[in-house]
Amino acid sequence: MGMSVTISAATEADAEQILKLQYLCYQSEAQLYGDYSIEPLTQSLASIRAELDSGTVLVARLGDEVVASVRGTIDADGTAHINKLITHPRMQRHGLGGRLLTAVEAELGSAGTTKRFQLFTGHRSDHNLRLYRQHGYEPVSTQRVDERLTLVTLAKDTEANAFAASA
């Protein structure tokens, strides 16, 4: 009998699994850019626990195992910042990242103050860029971090804000 993946709010008890999953998932990004000192690989457990308390953190579970996660916050201007969308390598390319992205948008959008969603990824992260574009995100800026990495910021209006702009 197969198990299905469920998406829910992360709990304090998930922090350690999220940290381990994040470390696993960001190995490929570190290799792609030749930099193993990136923040997701050096983030502490205490920092993840703080994020659980201060923002929206969702996880996807297969049974008791956390197999994907995403985080988000909303700033004073109504921009929802989505970050650290991670999916276990064995679960990638099955639509789970897209499901989690849709879920965090719904959660952050339910506050009623969210005007737009924003996220970023590295310029060489083709799979990430493709996923975000498939979900309506468009590049809005780039920031050269160093000779190896340029961050691409992508954004999209919320459905309510897009509707208001077209009216």
- Say how many C-beta atoms besides its own lie within 10 A of residue 82's C-beta: 23
Task: Compute the Cα dihedral for 22, 25, 29, 31 and give only its sign.
Answer: positive
Band of residue 27 on the pLDDT scale cut at 50, 70, 90 = very high
pLDDT (tens digit per residue) in 37-62: 999 999 999 999 999 999 999 999 99
Q: What is the pLDDT of residues 139-166, one digit of tens each?
A: 999 999 888 899 999 999 987 565 444 4
Residue type, 115: K
Long-range contacts, stretch 42-45, CB < 8 angstroms, 24+ apart: 43/19, 45/15, 45/16, 45/19
Domain that holds residue 139: 5-166
Domain count, the chain: 1
Q: How confident is the model at residue 121 (pLDDT cuts 50, 70, 90)?
A: very high
Q: Which residues in 40-103 belong to E strands, given as ranges?
A: 56-62, 65-74, 79-87
- Confidence (pLDDT) at 98: 96
Task: Specify the pairing of strand 79-87 against strand 116-122.
Answer: parallel
Q: What local confidence, expressed as pLDDT, does residue 146 receive?
A: 87
CATH number of 132's domain: 3.40.630.30
